[in-house]
Amino acid sequence: MIQQALIIRDKHTKAASFIIETESDWVLYAGNSLDSIDTSRPILSGNGSGEFPLSASTSTRVYFKLISGGIQLFLSERHLPMDGGYNFRDLGGFKTVEGRYTKWGKLFRADELSNLTDRDIEYLTNIPITSAIDFRAIAEARRSPDRLPNTVQFSYPIAITPGNLSTEGIHANLLKSNIDAQMKHMNRLLVSDPACVRAFRIFFAIIQNNLSAPLIFHCSAGKDRTGMAAALVLFSLGVDEETIMQDYLSSKIYLSDKYDAFIAKYPRAEPLFTVKRMFLQAGINQIKRDHSSVMNFLTKILKVDIIRMRRLYLE
């Protein structure tokens, strides 16, 4: 029985490791796509738990197949080794309440893409990324235009601006006495303001098109607009609420290098540049108040085809 298995990278050195918790024998195989994993040559094998260094390229996406006790799992790194992006993650590998797993290499969430390096672009080209969805306001996108790989065939600007998430809005929020309350209010607006709801309906229409993936969706920090979008996607695929919350909260880890210096200088601004459980929870609670359940919101308001989503994005 496998309790845990994951691929991680040191966010500074980019060194990759394989972590496993099990009492069984196991074998790990690798390939540059899920379909090209070579099961004739294991890259690692062992018995029991441990952490093991991996030789994994930072310029080419690598996928892994773990076989242990008659069970097989597909793995990859959730946090991508970007040099010019902080909060760039794969939504693959989440276990659903029915015991299935979200597919690797299909849906990616990210912060701003304007600072991606040539090596980052090469990595994304090798996936290859086909579509990009930008939740930023028009002014934000003009100030910091996306750098995208040439494999991107479809680019969708879908501005979502609850509570004024522009630079000017952030400065205005700094003058308010309770920024935590403002962030909770913003998350409520994300799922109740008609313009935001319409934007998320468009978002789901795009990702339900089987030609869209592999796809990136992003905003500026990849935590608020993107965080809510990721949560709604995972809800639609049958991932439990606590797992979704933990994915949301991991933005705090990945964004620390990006914003810690600013927060140290302006500590009152911290809620604007981090995530807290109560922020996303405020949005989830708003959905449940307004629609009885998240599933009702997804199917009746956002017009999500749950069967189609799970056919496209679940193993």
For residue 151, pLDDT beyond 60:
yes
**Mean pLDDT to the nearest integer, 198-218:** 97
The mean predicted confidence, pLDDT, of the chain is 92
Between 221 and 10, residue with greater pLDDT? 221
57 with 83, same domain: the answer is no
Question: What integer pLDDT is reported at residue 221 of this predicted model?
Answer: 94
For residue 169, pLDDT beyond 80:
no
Chain segment 262-275, per-residue pLDDT in tens:
888 888 888 888 99
Please list, residue by residue across 37-76, b when 16 or more beta carbons sit within 10 angstroms of its beta carbon and e when fewer do. beeeeebbebeebeeeebebebeebbbbbbbbeeeebbbb
Range with the lowest mean pLDDT among 38-52, 127-141, 160-174, 231-245? 160-174
Distance of alpha carbon 312 from alpha carbon 134, whole angstroms: 21
227 with 96, same domain: the answer is yes
Residue 79 β-bridge partners: 89
Chain segment 209-250, per-residue pLDDT in tens:
999 999 999 999 999 999 999 999 999 999 999 999 999 999
Question: What integer pLDDT is reported at residue 55 of this predicted model?
Answer: 85
66 with 176, same domain: the answer is no
83 with 27, same domain: the answer is no
85 with 161, same domain: the answer is yes
Residue 5, domain CATH:
2.60.40
Question: What integer pLDDT is reported at residue 261 of this predicted model?
Answer: 87
Residue 264, domain CATH:
3.90.190.10
Between 59 and 42, residue with greater pLDDT? 42
* Max Cα distance, the chain (Å): 62
In terms of residue numbers, what domain contains 224? 78-313
178 with 213, same domain: the answer is yes
DSSP 251-289: HHHHTHHHHHHHHHH-GGGGGGSS--HHHHHHHHHHHHH
